[in-house]
Amino acid sequence: MGEGERFQLGTVGALTLSVVSSVSIVICNKALISSLGFNFATTLTSWHLLVTFCSLHVALRLKLFEHKPFDRKAIMGFGVLNGISIGLLNLSLGFNSVGFYQMTKLAIIPCTVLLETIFLAKRFSRSIQLSLLILLLGVGIATITDVQLNALGSILSLLAIVTTCVAQIMTNTIQKKFKVSSTQLLYQSCPYQSGTLLITGPFLDRFLTNQNVFAFNYTTQVLVFIILSCLISVSVNFSTFLVIGKTSPVTYQVLGHLKTCLVLAFGYILLHDPFNWRNILGIMIALVGMILYSYFCTLESQKKGNEAALQSSQPKEESDPLINVGNGSEVVIDTIAQRSPGWDSNKDLHA
């Protein structure tokens, strides 16, 4: 099996792992939050990250991967930014209507494209742009209901969009710049992410739900679901870094909307959630957009591969080595949507 085939197989495996683990944790968290009343989403996310770090530490001790230290300031800033983005997404959910929150999530893709175009000089073809537009249209039809604007909610949503985009772009660029794997990056950033949320989580959850996480009645059933959620989160967090590292932040966002469509479908089939023609039409349009995006990305990858092979087969001209010196190399976690008293129960839950 060639290197290209192994890379494609690894990418497909990463995408599959991300979808399966994310849908699984959404179902688990929906039962935990909606059915058992555990509304402390930010605190739960901090536990997810803490368990992920402990699991990776055990894996490191078993020599399943190699620890590779690099720029501490970069990893600290990246970890704290990731924690802040999760908190802002939860605040955005708390202060906005269902429709406006869905618009916030949809806005992450065009914002990521804009930032990568401006700061990383990345170019997106018209075909890719068209497929993303179809995808966003489909997800919008399937998920957006009411759209109510308020000043505080709008500011929080804007901050959530920017911090999430930057964090996901950093995930990709840090792995390439410092030549670290997704596991190595996740292991080193987890303490800063979980620390940020462990400190702020209880206060943020109390502000949003008027409940104290430490005074909650932790029954055996609640504890079982919390443990299950934390175990699944290890796979979710790992696959998030793996997908962004192997593909791009935009592809990860496209995958995220596929998860949304799957959650809607599973909710209707397994939990008998309300479903109408708008959901069905939106999911179908979104799937068309995803298929087109995958098709055009594959075509462009093959084109770049053929061009690279053609260039490598041509005789190399002698050049001054001084001219070639200095050519540099070119940053998430899904959130758990909370439901507090007075909030709409149809808000979707993400790990």
Distance of alpha carbon 203 from alpha carbon 190, whole angstroms: 20
Examine residue 265 and state whether it is found in any structural domain, yes or no.
no
Domain presence at residue 166: yes
Query: For the whole model, what pTM was predicted?
Result: 0.76
Q: Is residue 81 domain-resident?
A: yes
Quickly count: other Cβ atoms within 10 Å of residue 229's Cβ.
25
Residue 331 lies in a domain: no
Q: What pLDDT is attached to residue 254?
A: 84
- Choose among 106, 117, 90: nearest CA to 33: 90
227 CB-near residues (< 8 Å, 6+ apart): none
Using DSSP's 3-state secondary structure scheme, residue 36 falls into coil
Q: Is 318 among the domain residues?
A: no
Give residue 313's pLDDT: 67
Residues spanned by the domain of 172: 10-128+146-248
CA-wise closest residue to 298 among 114, 127, 173: 127
Q: Which residues contact 215 (CB under 8 A, 6 or more apart)?
A: none
Mind listing the pLDDT tens digit of every residue in the chain (351 residues)?
Answer: 555 556 566 677 878 888 889 888 888 988 898 889 999 999 999 999 999 999 999 999 999 889 999 899 999 999 999 999 999 998 988 888 777 888 888 899 999 999 999 999 888 999 999 999 999 998 888 888 767 778 888 999 999 999 999 999 999 999 999 999 989 999 999 999 999 999 999 999 999 899 999 999 999 999 999 999 999 999 999 888 888 888 888 888 888 887 777 777 766 676 566 667 888 888 889 889 988 998 888 888 788 777 777 777 665 544 443 333 333 333 333 434 434 433 443 444 444
Torsion of Cα atoms, 282 then 287 then 289 then 293, to 10°: 160
Q: Is residue 170 part of a domain?
A: yes
Domain presence at residue 261: no
Q: How many domains, the chain?
A: 1
Residue 287 placed within a domain: no
Q: Give the pLDDT score at 330.
A: 32
Residue 126 CB coordination number (10 Å): 8
